[in-house]
Amino acid sequence: MTQAKEKARASLRELSKLYTEPSDDPSEPTLHRYTLRGVSTTKNTTYVCRRAEPDLIDMGLDEDSKPKEDQWWRIEYPTSGARPTVEVRMHN
């Protein structure tokens, strides 16, 4: 392998670590875990996750109650028909 190829591979390895491994350099951005918030299964169908927020009125009243779960919504864009409409519904 040529020296130029090896240098390019080393640079690629460093770049691939840029946002996947924490850096010791304080000038680099801090990393945060992420969760999937949406996915497109076809060109017309998208699923979006809406983060559940606590009900402020009920907070602290029932200690045994579990937090609300995130909600997945399906958004479908029809491509045919005289009057296409967007369909949005909660998906279980």
pLDDT over threshold 60, residue 10: yes
* Res 43: pLDDT: 87
> Max Cα separation, the chain?
69
Query: Which pLDDT tens digit goes with each residue over 34-63?
Result: 777 899 999 889 999 987 776 666 656 555
Name which of 83, 80, 81, 51 is nearest 68 in CA terms. Answer: 51
* Res 48: pLDDT: 92
The Cα 54–Cα 58 span in angstroms is 8
Going from N- to C-terminal start, the domains of the chain cover 3-54+67-91
